[in-house]
Structures are given as structure tokens and as C-alpha cells.
């Protein structure tokens, strides 16, 4: 097969072990395995235990599977919000998260900054909101929220639950989970897996909040409410017939990541990001879209390429390097580059060299 690297930020490049794991899955009969079998319970346990180790998830956190991270947006409101939530909005995905609250008839409030900008640590959040929703990595703009900002939000709002959308950043960020109540992602980005699986982590405080809503006769949903998810997860099961193959592949890639070492993955991510940001700054035809260095994402890097966007994209493609389009209205003026564990240092060096050699 022709050399081809997919830098689109999701679905993105598959992790290099996935094709082998799929072959193994077919050999072992995983695609037709009963989700009520012992073998499935082992796979569920391997996936969740592995994630717990990889991401340093405390024991008061539970790990559940959904169909997508989009589903998790909806479930967060259903299970944790009776009245009000507050959203830090700085791009299309944080905006959609907020809109889902409105659709579900919640009083979803927001603070919004222009695309490409991040948030200060001292965001003013109204007293008494039940849920504060932050997007750790805004996939549309390449803006990341510093971990210290999450810690500061926690200190200033000790009574609110904090949900962190880490869809396009995990496994890179080393969250202090005590500063969050729920963290979630989907597998087709940083984990380099086929799409069709969301991973939802919640602590006991979330479970209790959902129980409180139920006690007040407020529906928290059905098969994927927190009580039902937890009752099944305690048996290493899911309420519904899940994406069994997806959970199996996740368990295998998490094991691969553990062997490689999360510290190595993080260091390599830093290195690759530095290489690309430097290339974008040095190239006369490109610049990083995000100006404040502390807000620049390490995992989704957005380049302003103006009128040269199409030409640069085509030039990179001749080398087998497939950039992601800019998001929405920025399609004609920006390119996006996923920097996930599936992308090697060599691929990033080739990408940076190619940008250096790009002439108009």
C-alpha cells in the first residue's frame, strides 16, 4: 500500500497495531462473542483496568462505554443537571456541547471567546450552577485549556460538578482527576481506533447526583443512565449489546500504550508539537492559528495558511501527508494536524521538513 499518513483530527490515523488486533479478534471469534459471556467480561475488565492504569484514574471513578462522545454530552445533562449548567465556549464543539443543554431544556449558560482564544484562569462562573462544562481541547480551533485553569475553576467553584471534554486530547493530558468529576473521550482520536465508541468516566459524586434526581422523580434516561451503567459495569458488563469489537480493540491498544509507557507518549507528543509549531512559525506562508502559546494544543495543531491553504495541502499530499481541513468556515484558510500516538516522530519530522520546503 502507498505510504499515506492521515493527519485529520478524527477519525484519524489508526494506531499501527490495530490491523493485527482485528485479525486476532476474528481468529478468537470476538465479533460474534456474546456480551453476556465470561470472555466478554474479561475484555471489559482488561479495557477498564488498562485505562485506569494508563490515565491514573482513582478508585472512586467508574468507567463506562457509550456509542460516541456526543452521546456522553447528552447523558451528562440527563444525569447531572436538574436546572443549570455553565459552559466555556471557544469553538464549534464546545458550542455544540452547550447547545445540547438548551435542546434538553436546561438553563445552559456560557461564556464565549472568539475562535483561537483560550480562557483565563479566573473565569467568572455564577454561583450555584450544577455542572461546569469545559472542553480541554477544542478540536475545531486547536485551543487547549491549561490544566492549572481546571484546578483554579475547581477551587473557585467547589460545589459544582466539573465535566471535562477530552475527546481530542487523551491520552496526552495528565489530569489531576480530583479536580474533575467526569472526563470523557472517544476512541477514534488519540487512541487511534475505528470510530463507534465513547468512554465516559465519572466519580461517585456524579453517581450520587443522578440518584438524587431519580429520587426527585426526574428521569435520568434508561439503559444508559448512571445507575444502570454502574450496575452492569460492576459485573464488567454493559446494559445493551455494545460495540464488542471496539471494546476489545481498545483493551489491546491500551495495553500497547502501557508497554510503550505513557511518559514516552507524552514526551513524544511534546516533541512532535514543538517541531510542527516551529515549522509553521518559520515558514513565510503559514503561522500557528493560536497566538497565545499557553493555549496552543499539543494534540490538534491548527495552521493559518491563508490563500496558500489548498496549495500546501496538495503539496503535502504528494508526499503522502494528508492534512485535515480547517473546520467549518476556516476550511479555505486553515489546515489542522492531529498529533496523536499513532503519528510517529519521523512522520512529524517529514511533515515539518515538507512545510519548510513548500514554495508558492
Applying CB under 8 A, the residues found at the interface with its own copies are 1, 4, 6, 8, 10-14, 18-19, 22, 26-27, 29, 31-35, 66-71, 73-74, 99-100, 103-105, 186, 188, 193-197, 217, 219, 221-225, 239-246
**Which CB sits closer to its own copies, 73 or 358?**
73
State in angstroms the smallest separation of the CB of 332 from its own copies: 15
Residue ranges of the alpha helices (H) in the chain? 18-28, 38-55, 69-80, 92-103, 147-156, 204-215, 226-233, 244-260, 262-282, 309-318, 345-357
**Which CB sits closer to its own copies, 12 or 160?**
12
State in angstroms the smallest separation of the CB of 29 from its own copies: 7
- CB 198 within 8 Å of CB 10: no
Nine cell digits for residue 116: 483561537
State in angstroms the smallest separation of the CB of 244 from its own copies: 5
**Which CB sits closer to its own copies, 68 or 84?**
68
Beta bridge partners of 110: 87
Q: What angle do CA 202, 31, 21 make, to 5 degrees?
A: 80
State in angstroms the smallest separation of the CB of 131 from its own copies: 15
Count CB-CB contacts under 10 A for residue 259: 8
Alpha-carbon distances, residue 26 vs 33, 182, 247 (angstroms): 10, 34, 14
**Which CB sits closer to its own copies, 123 or 226?**
226
Q: Using the structure block, give the residue that is written with the C-alpha cell 470476538.
A: 30
State in angstroms the smallest separation of the CB of 296 from its own copies: 24
Q: How far apart are CA 90 and CA 144, in angstroms?
A: 10
Nine cell digits for residue 345: 516522530
State in angstroms the smallest separation of the CB of 35 from its own copies: 7
Tell me the CB-side half-sphere exposure of residue 287, using CA atoms within 13 A: 9
Dihedral angle at the C-alpha atoms of 57, 65, 118, 332, nearest 10 degrees? Answer: 140
**Which CB sits closer to its own copies, 123 or 244?**
244
State in angstroms the smallest separation of the CB of 241 from its own copies: 5
**Which CB sits closer to its own copies, 20 or 120?**
20
Phi, psi of 321 (to 5 degrees): -105, 110
State in angstroms the smallest separation of the CB of 262 from its own copies: 23
Tell me the CB-side half-sphere exposure of residue 124, using CA atoms within 13 A: 0
Beta bridge partners of 61: 203
Report which DSSP code applies to 121. T
State in angstroms the smallest separation of the CB of 4 from its own copies: 7
Report which DSSP code applies to 142. T
β-strand 334-338 against 324-325: which pairing, if any?
A: antiparallel
**Which CB sits closer to its own copies, 8 or 117?**
8
Amino acid at each position: 500500500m502507498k505510504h499515506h499518513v492521515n493527519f485529520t483530527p478524527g477519525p484519524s490515523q489508526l494506531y499501527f497495531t490495530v490491523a493485527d488486533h482485528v485479525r486476532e479478534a476474528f481468529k478468537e471469534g470476538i465479533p460474534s462473542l456474546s456480551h453476556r459471556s465470561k470472555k466478554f467480561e474479561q475484555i471489559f475488565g482488561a479495557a477498564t483496568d488498562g485505562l485506569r492504569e494508563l490515565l491514573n484514574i482513582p478508585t472512586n471513578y467508574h468507567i463506562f462505554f457509550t456509542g460516541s462522545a456526543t452521546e456522553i454530552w447528552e447523558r451528562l445533562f440527563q444525569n447531572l443537571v436538574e436546572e443549570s449548567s455553565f459552559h466555556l465556549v471557544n469553538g464549534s464543539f464546545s458550542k455544540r456541547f452547550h447547545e445540547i443543554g438548551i435542546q434538553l431544556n436546561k438553563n445552559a449558560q456560557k461564556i464565549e471567546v472568539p475562535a483561537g482564544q483560550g480562557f483565563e484562569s479566573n473565569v467568572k462562573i455564577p454561583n450555584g450552577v450544577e455542572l461546569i462544562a469545559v472542553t480541554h481541547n477544542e478540536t475545531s480551533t486547536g485551543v487547549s485549556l491549561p490544566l492549572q485553569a481546571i484546578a483554579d475553576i475547581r477551587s473557585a467553584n467547589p460545589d459544582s460538578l466539573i465535566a471535562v471534554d477530552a475527546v481530542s486530547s487523551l491520552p496526552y493530558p495528565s489530569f489531576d482527576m480530583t479536580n474533575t468529576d467526569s472526563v470523557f473521550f472517544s476512541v477514534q482520536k488519540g487512541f487511534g481506533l475505528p470510530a463507534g465508541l465513547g468512554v465516559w468516566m465519572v466519580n461517585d459524586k456524579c453517581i450520587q447526583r443522578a440518584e438524587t434526581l431519580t429520587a426527585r422523580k426526574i428521569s435520568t434516561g434508561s439503559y444508559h443512565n448512571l445507575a444502570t451503567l454502574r450496575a452492569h459495569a460492576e459485573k464488567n458488563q454493559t446494559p445493551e449489546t455494545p460495540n464488542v469489537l471496539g471494546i476489545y480493540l481498545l483493551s489491546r491498544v491500551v495495553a500497547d500504550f502501557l508497554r510503550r509507557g505513557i511518559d514516552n507518549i507524552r514526551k513524544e507528543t511534546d516533541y512532535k508539537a514543538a517541531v510542527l509549531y516551529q515549522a509553521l512559525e518559520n515558514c513565510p506562508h503559514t503561522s500557528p492559528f493560536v497566538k497565545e502559546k499557553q493555549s496552543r494544543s499539543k494534540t490538534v495543531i491548527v495552521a493559518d495558511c491563508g490563500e496558500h491553504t489548498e496549495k500546501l495541502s496538495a503539496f503535502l499530499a504528494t508526499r503522502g501527508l494528508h492534512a485535515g481541513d480547517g473546520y467549518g468556515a476556516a476550511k479555505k484558510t486553515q489546515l489542522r494536524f492531529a498529533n496523536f500516538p499513532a503519528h510517529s516522530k519521523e512522520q512529524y519530522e517529514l511533515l515539518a521538513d515538507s512545510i519548510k520546503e513548500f514554495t508558492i
